[in-house]
Amino acid sequence: MKKDLILDRQDLRYLEWSRIRRSSGTAGSFLKSFRTEKGKKQYFKLSNYDTVRGVTGHECVNELIADRLLTILGIKHLHYQLIHALILVNGKEQETWLCASDDFKNSNESKTALDVFFQLEKEEDEIPLEFCIRMGWESYIYEMLLVDFLILNRDRHGANIEILRDRSARSIRLAPLFDHGISMFFQCKNDAALDREDVMEDKRIQSFVGTDSAYENLKLIPKEKMPEVRPLQQADRQILFAGLEQILSQKHLDKLWELLWKRWSYYEDFCDKR
């Protein structure tokens, strides 16, 4: 398996970036790109971008942290690589951190956003959660709701869950969990902003399958079907943040661990009391 963190600066000025508006309602854009090597696509994504400040925010770092967390928990997901890179956007060079991921779609598969697929295939008066249960995706959805609670994912809209269909094989499956960047402290630009954060706050989220509360979404999981995951442990902090001390401040890392550990502890208590 390839390294998930490349600290040595890579010259990626040849990449061309396209603009993707943020769905969270905040200002700015994500820029995305891809390259093809040996017939396989690799996708690249930047953190929040605007034409004045360039690339800002921590979305790409969050993708790596979420990747490592899901690996620890034993939940299937898309793997990300965090890369120190020199890029060129709108004729301006910038040194930044970006994340890369491989194409999760097989060559004979087509992909459709869950919200689109739901509108095409749902039964009368069926809601997204009921639809996913009927389709046999119950365990996947419950793991997703747990993950989004732990990292405070604010942006699980209907296109951040994808359907992969192979018409010749008559198969259909959900793509591995992906796109976790708008989570944790993605909007905090400095340590002073981190001081104002309450890690247990029930911030409003966007969840196509659930509600606008990560806490309420945990309650959607039946007691007998709580995800069976490997418990998070104190020793996992070192795994989660390995190498990131060169990217984030110590206060930021401490606050990230406070969020993940307290939310995990809440989840364990939640399971015990049900």
pLDDT given for residue 38 in this prediction: 82
CB-CB contact of 64 with 5 (8 Å): yes
Tens of pLDDT, residues 175-191: 999 999 999 999 888 88
Last residue of a domain, one of 102, 135, 169: 102
Mean pLDDT by 10 residues, the chain (274 residues): 92 88 47 89 92 86 98 97 95 94 92 97 97 97 98 96 91 95 91 95 96 98 96 98 96 97 98 92
Among 79, 102, 125, the domain boundary falls at: 102
pLDDT in tens, 242-256: 999 999 999 999 999
Q: Are residues 16 and 38 located together in one domain of the fold?
A: yes
Q: What is the pTM of this model?
A: 0.94
Query: 273 — phi, psi (to 5°)?
Result: -90, -5
Q: Are residues 152 and 82 in the same domain?
A: no
pLDDT value of position 223: 95
Contact 141, 209 (CB under 8 A): yes
Distance CA 221, CA 228 (A): 12
Contact in structure between 259 and 152 (CB atoms under 8 Å) = yes
Gap between the terminal Cα atoms of the chain: 39
21 and 70: one domain?
yes
Q: Which domain holds residue 224?
A: 110-273
Q: Are strands 18-21 and 29-37 parallel, antiparallel or unpaired?
A: antiparallel
Q: How many domains does the chain divide into?
A: 2
Last residue of a domain, one of 80, 102, 124: 102
What is the predicted pLDDT for the residue at 54? 82
Which CATH number does the domain housing residue 172 bear? 1.10.1070
Verify that 154 and 213 share a domain, yes or no. yes
